[in-house]
Amino acid sequence: MYLVFPDVATIADFVADALASQVRARPESVLGLATGGTMEPVYARFLERVRQTRLDVSRLRSFNLDEYIGLTPDHPQSYAAYMKQHLFDVLGFDPLRHHLPDGCAPDEDGYCRHYSSAIYQAGGIDLQLLGVGRNGHIGFNEPGTAFDSTTHVVSLDERTRIDNSRFFAEGELVPGRAITMGLRDIMSAREILLVATGAAKAPTLAAFHRSGVTPELPFSVLKQHPRVRIVLDAEAARLLPAQACQPMVQAVLPARSA
């Protein structure tokens, strides 16, 4: 069943509330974090919750899904810079608690092994946030990625590079390679929340609905996870059968002060 919200704002409220509840229930939670356009309103709303409810985030830990290879953390299009801008400038960044893959690690394979084992040493991810690419990638696990993959280096799909070029300056090339948590790392999370918004994602969700579990559509692996919620806006859900969609309107609107 897909949870379908009228718009991006109501989704952001819902996901921000889910994150806040997780942190309230377990302040030392380990979150798996995504970047991308979809998450920007989510993080903005989450920071509002943190401020309004004085949520204690001092013990929170996190692991980001991915990073471009070759971009240093101060490069404006690195995911490290994205996280700083959208979350950590306000939340506070402690490198011992908040982890982002290092896109400039000299020993790539050794570093990948280290990143996956750090997740397990932290006790595993409690709540994993995911966006999805139009080709069905999660993290940067492009079509064809093995389901038992751990953190690894990938060559990005041409479609992913075109989609992500909107975040780069005109004429600036999107890196061709990235480091990403693997599908096994993602599937090890105790709970998963995948968010997709906008009409461009509608065919991807329709393919997911029709598809069996196949590496050709990487996020189809989520069908095998026991605790996954797929959260969509009306546009992303537009090609899904109505009976598979649970409309989320009044029930989740948070009480806003006048």
Compare residues 137 and 152 and give the one whose CB is closer to ligand F6R.
137
Can you read off the two tokens belonging to residue 58?
Answer: 């001092």
Compare residues 36 and 55 and give the one whose CB is closer to ligand F6R.
36
Residues 6 or more apart from 42 whose CB is under 8 A from it? 11, 12, 15, 16, 19, 129, 195
- Calculate the dihedral angle through the C-alpha atoms of 88, 114, 175, 80, rounding to the nearest 10 degrees: 10
- Find the catalytic residue in 13, 64, 67, 135: 135
The correct pick among 36, 41, 103, 182 for binding ligand F6R (CB under 6 A) is: 36
Interactions with ligand F6R, residue window 63-82 (CB under 6 A):
65-66
Q: What is the rounded CA–CA span in Å between residue 111 and residue 151? A: 9
Q: What is the rounded CA–CA span in Å between residue 129 and residue 65? A: 9
Name the residue whose CB lies closest to ligand F6R. 131
Q: Is residue 37 part of the contact set for ligand F6R (CB under 6 A)?
A: yes
Compare residues 22 and 38 and give the one whose CB is closer to ligand F6R.
38
| Known catalytic residue at 148 | no
User: What letter represents residue 212's amino acid?
Assistant: G
Q: What is the rounded CA–CA span in Å between residue 79 and residue 58? A: 22
Q: Is residue 154 part of the contact set for ligand F6R (CB under 6 A)?
A: no
> So which residues are the catalytic ones?
66, 135, 137, 142
Residues that bind ligand F6R (CB under 6 A): 34-38, 65-66, 131-133, 137-139
